[in-house]
Amino acid sequence: MYIFKAGVVGAGTMGGEIAQVITYAGLPVVMKDIDQEMLDAGMEQIRSIYQARVDKGKMGAGDMESKLDLVTTTLSYDAFADVDIVIEAVPEKMAIKKQVFRELEEACPEQTIFASNTSALSISEMGAATDKPHKVIGMHFFNPAHVMKLVEVIPGLDTGRETQDDVVMFAETLRKIPVVVQECPGFLVNRLLMPYLNEATLALEEGAATATEIDTAVVDWGMPMGPFTLMDMLGIDVCADVGEYLYSEYGERMRPARLFEKLLGAGRLGEKTGVGFYDHPGGESEDVHQMIKDLQAAGEVATGTPFTVERLMYPLINEAAQCVLENVATMTDIDMAMVAGTGMTYGGERVGPLVVADQIGLDQVAETLKELEADFGPRFRPARPLRLRVRAGHLGVKTGKGFYEHT
Ligand code: 3HC
Report the alpha-carbon distance of residue 303 to residue 258 in Å, rounded.
Answer: 13
Minimal CA–CA distance to 41: which of 63, 68, 69, 13? 13
List, edge to edge, every strand of the sheet that includes 71-74.
71-74, 29-32, 6-9, 85-88, 113-116, 136-141, 150-155, 177-180
Q: Is the pLDDT of residue 407 over 90?
A: no
Ligand 1 in contact with 119 (CB < 6 A)?
A: yes
The ligand 1 atom nearest the CA atom of 271:
7
pLDDT in tens, 104-149: 999 999 999 999 999 999 999 999 999 999 999 999 999 999 999 9
Any idea which residues carry the catalytic annotation? 140
pLDDT in tens, 329-349: 999 999 999 999 999 999 999
Q: Is the pLDDT of residue 1 over 90?
A: no
Ligand 1 pocket: which of 147, 150, 271 to mutate (most atoms within 8 A of CB): 147
pLDDT of residue 334: 98
Ligand 1 in contact with 343 (CB < 6 A)?
A: yes
- Helix, strand, coil proportions of the chain in percent (round to 5)? 55, 10, 35
Ligand 1 in contact with 81 (CB < 6 A)?
A: no
pTM: 0.96
Q: What's the mean pLDDT when you consider all of the chain?
A: 97
Distance (angstroms) between ligand 1 centre and the Cα of 48 equals: 14
pLDDT in tens, 356-394: 999 999 999 999 999 999 999 999 999 999 999 999 999
